[in-house]
A and B are shown apart, each in its own frame.
Chain A
Amino acid sequence: GNSVTQMEGPVTLSEEAFLTINCTYTATGYPSLFWYVQYPGEGLQLLLKATKADDKGSNKGFEATYRKETTSFHLEKGSVQVSDSAVYFCALEPNTGNQFYFGTGTSLTVIP
């Protein structure tokens, strides 16, 4: 079946620290992979995506590379800011159908 496993939170970092949030997936075929972010009191918004193996998605200083060999899509940022405090969700969409599968979310707090 299809599933996403992401790193448990919460994560607390100091400003300018390096961030990694791990995400691994199980899927048949070649899914598309996504990272969504949810700021306090808001809905989810797309942060970045990758649609095939070795693709790198990037946005707002965040990056994630689609690794088929390790079935992973880890989120990274070199220097986090207070404004990055949010909940981050990894998700996949299988290559058949239109249902998304979300991880449980990782809460990030960045302190000044």
Chain B
Amino acid sequence: DVKVTQSSRYLVKRTGEKVFLECVQDMDHENMFWYRQDPGLGLRLIYFSYDVKMKEKGDIPEGYSVSREKKERFSLILESASTNQTSMYLCASSFSDRAEQFFGPGTRLTVL
């Protein structure tokens, strides 16, 4: 079974802090994704990566950056956390284009 793990289930940070969310997949998938999930808005794509060191902006990249130094790991970085970044963050991976995405359990981030 594909496994996508995220470093924390719950995280509480203060405004202005730098926040790292880590995601690891164990199935040698090419593509990895970061979404945020908010009530009434569904899932919105922040960034995705189709290869090591490659990244593409999604629909809402402002205030976020990403890093993919190894194929299995995709990190989301909040350079200076703000209260409007309080959300559920979901990581996903897929083997290739037009393939199923596998999701991690999510990290619920609260920024105070």
Tell me if B50 is interfacial: C-beta within 8 Å of chain A: yes
**Closest chain A residue to B9, Cβ basis:** A41
Tell me if A18 is interfacial: C-beta within 8 Å of chain B: no
Q: Which residues does A use to contact B, with CB under 8 Å?
A: 32, 34, 36, 41-46, 49, 51, 89, 93, 95, 97-100, 102-105
Q: Is the interface of A mostly helix, strand, loop or mixed?
A: loop
Residues B13-46 near A (CB distance < 8 A): 31, 33, 35, 40-43, 45
Contact partner of B100 (CB less than 8 A), chosen from A34, A43, A103, A105, is A34
Give the most central of A34, A46, A102, A103: most B CB within 10 Å: A102
- A residues less than 8 Å from B45 (CB atoms): 99-100
- In contact, B31 and A43 (Cβ under 8 angstroms): no
